[in-house]
Structure 1
Amino acid sequence: MPAKAGRWGWRRSRSALRGDADLIVTMYHDQGQIALKTVAFGENVTVLGGMPVPIVTSSQGTAFDIVGQNKADPSALQHAFDLVVRLAGVGAAWRGEQVPA
């Protein structure tokens, strides 16, 4: 569901997370990531396109305020890591390389 940059927001984010979309593409990080963080902070991943290798970022910040307190939730980083491993495998298979199962 295409939308103008200034019109992206809560309604579309919730719609996508309900399963109405498999992917959200935005021109700028702020358009998608900030809206999705309000709905599912530890579940979204940003993928940078057009690069020779897969690059992803999690929705987490640095969380300096909780360093050393065993409070951090690693789920966003786990989602990002799992996705980049899958993307790397797809790229290798596309190049005709053997991909471990």
Structure 2
Amino acid sequence: MSVATLPDTGTQTDSLASGETATDVPWVVIVWNDPVNLMSYVSYVFQSYFGYSESKANQLMMQVHHDGKTVVATGPREEAERHTLAMHSYGLWATFQKADQA
């Protein structure tokens, strides 16, 4: 990916390298630590929504607790958007971004 500057604006835009499409770039869903939700609830959400085992869900929850965030899913942008909205519906703080920025 390269960065180009729009003429007469100074605004930079990203352009994809040849052969690379926007759907080829993986996206990640990040769940952030918050002062509201119990650790057991966060683990429950990971199990019920993503279908993670109790062990995997607890591991991800502990990463959120200790590191302040964790990646819970990777995939195309549309899927990342859907997962992020789902996390919001459960009351969790979540964002999505390109995987190379995580």
Into which bin does the TM-score normalised by the smaller protein fall? Answer: under 0.3
Larger Rg: 2
Normalising by structure 2, what TM-score? Answer: 0.27
The structure with the largest strand share of the pair is 2
Normalising by structure 1, what TM-score? Answer: 0.27
